[in-house]
Chains A and B, each alone.
Chain A
């Protein structure tokens, strides 16, 4: 019997009894501390239920509340009793009622017997670890905490503020360096008794009585004074979430726990029958390797990340980030083309062929959503109805990108479309926006309408587009924006298209063997001149050459461009 167990119990006494029987069956003496908050009759029944076991004792009861001195006092009292009454104990293991041994106790005994002078206790200096709860790290040691964090939260916070304000810092007792770590340890008799029998113990106790969460720092700090060999890790597998509350294990963690090779796990849900039956009743197949909780660590740290950061681009019933806290407004990069379908006759099919992405038409068109192939519904059962879309246009966009994760979306946009998402697009770092300004005039140029109507519409579209451009060029814009005037673009269209494709980062692209077909712009310069003559100044197209001559030969060749 080289191993003795100190057990702190406060709820689920029937489960605690099961575990105590398990320890005891392997010859470990157990000293039990039952929280004073457990009522007398329940306590008596509990003591009675364990009366048949030898080497099981109960220690003096203290009131234990999370984060208070009571837990340390309880551990001290029970440890003293263990060392006093069971002289053959070499290692003392601090466990709780909801801890469960995962490997045979003999395994643990052998493991400890092979390391007779090692103290297993997680112990790190405050400066080096980010374990902060309630915004307190080293202040745990320099302020006083007479109020309960759970019950007297208001007083707790006010008193902390007061001490900060007036710089009422405590002095640490001579010779100690604050360390913190998991409260579940396994110490050798030498070290533990040195801590408990230290002549300066009253000084330390007085100091730690007002430290916050002393159960995570008392032994962790003092062990550094006496131990010959500290192994700074806990033998108890215990994971904490972002609130500092332990994660709980359920029946469906069985395989994970089995493969973890840990000696003891905490905290087990009291109704996890399968876990208790498996680990306490049947022989356990795990064999003598080092604990390896890597997989469990990953699962729980993922859970914490989900709770604190969430999934980018997701808006749902339990995640509605305020503006600026989205960690990504959309979930994946996407591309927007403005003015390209106006300039090229077959731009959409061409882009889809060349980039192998999903290419939609004008998703925000006033007449209806132009999904790829003009489907009536799209991924996630989005509907092509424009009113439904405009009811919440932002979420239409985020839904679309979320629903098509793993596949890049491209769509057309322009001043004829509903502009509700104009700013959202500009501010989204996932958006890649390519604009040919003034291209909206081409359909007007090609249309068969009265010139006065054309003039009015041109003025309106120009106003809308320049507002949109203002958003794209503003201080808040985070999208990757590339803007050409129509004149610039027409001068060297393939070069510009190539830039766009490169920016989309399509690596496995086959070389582009065909160019999209540009509409015939003969007479366009004159059209612009006519607008000017009517008093409307079309400036977004850039300086379109009045002489259409340089364009003509190109138009007639109809020869595919080769771009690599």
Chain B
């Protein structure tokens, strides 16, 4: 049984590599600066569409963390973001007009590019509205973390998605280009997350937060997954299966301790709920390019019309990673 299961997963992994190769024909290179990547560089991989307004802060945030290069797939943007990215000295850019959904929500494109350019590097897969926070991220760079992970023989690092939202209507304060979105969306739910384990892939399934609380009370099992493993010492044999929630080989998903201890982990601050969101939700609903036929976006469109305010009196205001550590949303593990 165990051997058979492993073999099946191995086949699945091979299939996703073939699929990534096939889907790579949809990509057209805009600016390839991958020759500037040096052996120990840390690379951000991202796929996006019409996120121009978020890009300057996104790039700045990750440059400050110590990321050396960005590899980005632009899915048919028409807001000038593509041109902006092409002008950045540390960005390699591909573009495509193909279907996001049929590339398994961008996973195939990134799997291809990671296999090609990420081998042997620490790679971080994030969306432009996700901001990676790890233990000591205010005093140590991301290479301190990756050096430590490497010395500890850890290949993958988990960072749960933490939905951030403003106090008041989400469209009350307009977001300005280049601004830190966490200045507006600075609140989060501290302790209403539930976990369960996937016994085939070994990954956790985390649900909860404001989206579950506001939009999925009737069908809680449909609430979006918040577990992510974005930081991986990439090897060309690896593949993401479903967004960054699951990896193959499945050992990479064992980012949690089962014997009582805590492994080190971080958080992805998810600044999705800004004034730009209402527009985005409508657009995505029309395009129907999102997970489960955009069921999520349908729920948001309905939910937000009724309660445009995600804030409640028990919401916490974000201060720093130490606060998240104390609240038990992330852990230092044995890194000190």
For chain B, give the interface size range: 35 or more
Question: Could you say which of B29-37, B194-202, B298-306 contacts chain A?
Answer: B194-202
Looking at the assembled complex, report how far the CB atom of A406 sits from the nearest CB atom of chain B, in whole angstroms.
12
Q: Which residue of B lies closest to A394 (CB)?
A: B194
- Pairwise interchain contact B334-A320, C-beta atoms closer than 8 A: no
Question: What is the CA–CA distance of A279 and B145 in the complex, to the nearest angstrom?
Answer: 23
| Interface residue? B292 (CB, 8 A) | no
| Interface residue? B279 (CB, 8 A) | no
| Interface residue? B218 (CB, 8 A) | yes
- Pairwise interchain contact A306-B193, C-beta atoms closer than 8 A: no
- Pairwise interchain contact B256-A299, C-beta atoms closer than 8 A: no
Partner of B262, one of A243, A318, A382: A318
Q: Mark B185-227, 1 if CB is under 8 A from A, else 0.
A: 0000111111111000000101100101100111111000001
Q: Which of A375-395 contact B (CB under 8 A)?
A: 376-383, 385, 387-388, 391-392, 395
Q: Mark A308-340, 1 if CB is under 8 A from B, else 0.
A: 111100111111111001110000000000000
- Pairwise interchain contact B333-A327, C-beta atoms closer than 8 A: no
Partner of A310, one of B140, B193, B262, B313: B262
- Pairwise interchain contact B189-A317, C-beta atoms closer than 8 A: no
Question: What is the CA–CA distance of A389 and B216 in the complex, to the nearest angstrom?
Answer: 12
| Interface residue? A402 (CB, 8 A) | yes
Question: What is the CA–CA distance of A403 and B328 in the complex, to the nearest angstrom?
Answer: 9
- Pairwise interchain contact B256-A325, C-beta atoms closer than 8 A: no
- Pairwise interchain contact B136-A247, C-beta atoms closer than 8 A: no
Across-interface contacts of B159 in A (CB, < 8 A): 317
Question: Could you say which of A248-256, A425-433, A514-522 contacts chain B?
Answer: A248-256
Across-interface contacts of B111 in A (CB, < 8 A): none
Partner of A381, one of B189, B221, B259, B262: B189
Across-interface contacts of A498 in B (CB, < 8 A): none
- Pairwise interchain contact B195-A320, C-beta atoms closer than 8 A: yes
| Interface residue? A512 (CB, 8 A) | no
- Pairwise interchain contact B262-A311, C-beta atoms closer than 8 A: yes
Across-interface contacts of B190 in A (CB, < 8 A): 380-381, 403
- Pairwise interchain contact A303-B204, C-beta atoms closer than 8 A: no
Q: Which of A278-328 contact B (CB under 8 A)?
A: 299-300, 302-304, 306-311, 314-322, 325-327
Question: What is the CA–CA distance of A326 and B250 in the complex, to the nearest angstrom?
Answer: 24
Across-interface contacts of A304 in B (CB, < 8 A): 334
| Interface residue? A165 (CB, 8 A) | no
Across-interface contacts of B328 in A (CB, < 8 A): 311, 314, 316, 402
| Interface residue? B255 (CB, 8 A) | yes
Across-interface contacts of A300 in B (CB, < 8 A): 336
Q: Mark B273-315, 1 if CB is under 8 A from A, else 0.
A: 0000000000000000000000000000000000000001111
Question: What is the CA–CA distance of A308 and B332 in the complex, to the nearest angstrom?
Answer: 12
Q: Which residue of B lies closest to A314 (CB)?
A: B328
Partner of A317, one of B151, B256, B315, B336: B256
Question: What is the CA–CA distance of A315 and B219 in the complex, to the nearest angstrom?
Answer: 23
| Interface residue? B264 (CB, 8 A) | yes
Partner of B336, one of A302, A318, A378, A380: A302
Across-interface contacts of B158 in A (CB, < 8 A): 317-318
- Pairwise interchain contact B336-A303, C-beta atoms closer than 8 A: yes
With known contacts A269-B144, A306-B262, A315–B195 Cβ distance under 8 A: yes
- Pairwise interchain contact A310-B314, C-beta atoms closer than 8 A: no
Across-interface contacts of A322 in B (CB, < 8 A): 258-259
Across-interface contacts of A269 in B (CB, < 8 A): 144, 147
Looking at the assembled complex, report how far the CB atom of B268 sits from the nearest CB atom of chain A, in whole angstroms.
11
With known contacts A251-B140, A317-B227, A377-B313, A385–B264 Cβ distance under 8 A: no
- Pairwise interchain contact B331-A387, C-beta atoms closer than 8 A: no
Question: What is the CA–CA distance of A241 and B206 in the complex, to the nearest angstrom?
Answer: 29
Across-interface contacts of B148 in A (CB, < 8 A): 248
- Pairwise interchain contact A399-B221, C-beta atoms closer than 8 A: no
- Pairwise interchain contact B227-A321, C-beta atoms closer than 8 A: no
Across-interface contacts of A37 in B (CB, < 8 A): none
| Interface residue? A46 (CB, 8 A) | no
Q: Mark B248-267, 1 if CB is under 8 A from A, else 0.
A: 00000001111111111100
Question: What is the CA–CA distance of A241 and B212 in the complex, to the nearest angstrom?
Answer: 38
| Interface residue? B330 (CB, 8 A) | yes
- Pairwise interchain contact A316-B329, C-beta atoms closer than 8 A: yes
Looking at the assembled complex, report how far the CB atom of A452 sits from the nearest CB atom of chain B, in whole angstroms.
34
Q: Mark A354-396, 1 if CB is under 8 A from B, else 0.
A: 0000000000000000000000111111110101100110011
Question: What is the CA–CA distance of A326 and B260 in the complex, to the nearest angstrom?
Answer: 5
- Pairwise interchain contact A250-B136, C-beta atoms closer than 8 A: yes
With known contacts A381-B210, A381-B213, A382-B192, A310–B260 Cβ distance under 8 A: yes
Q: Which of B120-170 contact A (CB under 8 A)?
A: 136, 139-141, 143-144, 147-148, 151-152, 158-160
Question: What is the CA–CA distance of A314 and B332 in the complex, to the nearest angstrom?
Answer: 14
Partner of B314, one of A242, A379, A396: A379
Question: What is the CA–CA distance of A304 and B260 in the complex, to the nearest angstrom?
Answer: 12
Partner of B334, one of A303, A311, A376, A383: A303
| Interface residue? B335 (CB, 8 A) | yes
Across-interface contacts of B196 in A (CB, < 8 A): 392
Across-interface contacts of B204 in A (CB, < 8 A): 317, 320
- Pairwise interchain contact A319-B261, C-beta atoms closer than 8 A: yes
| Interface residue? A271 (CB, 8 A) | yes
Question: What is the CA–CA distance of A321 and B261 in the complex, to the nearest angstrom?
Answer: 8
- Pairwise interchain contact A387-B218, C-beta atoms closer than 8 A: yes
Across-interface contacts of A554 in B (CB, < 8 A): none
- Apart from the given pairs A381-B190, A392-B195, A402-B328, 12 other A-B contacts in the complex at a CB distance below 8 Å: A241-B334, A269-B147, A271-B144, A303-B336, A307-B261, A311-B262, A320-B257, A377-B312, A379-B191, A391-B220, A395-B194, A399-B194
Q: Which residues of A contact B (CB under 8 A)?
A: 241-243, 245, 247-248, 250-252, 269, 271, 299-300, 302-304, 306-311, 314-322, 325-327, 376-383, 385, 387-388, 391-392, 395-396, 399, 402-403
Supply 15 A–B pairs (Cβ within 8 Å), ascending by A. A269-B144, A271-B143, A309-B260, A310-B262, A316-B328, A317-B255, A319-B261, A378-B314, A379-B191, A381-B314, A383-B213, A388-B220, A392-B196, A395-B193, A403-B191
| The 7 A-B residue pairs with the shortest CB-CB distance in the complex, in nearest-first order | A380-B191, A307-B334, A392-B194, A303-B336, A318-B265, A391-B220, A381-B189
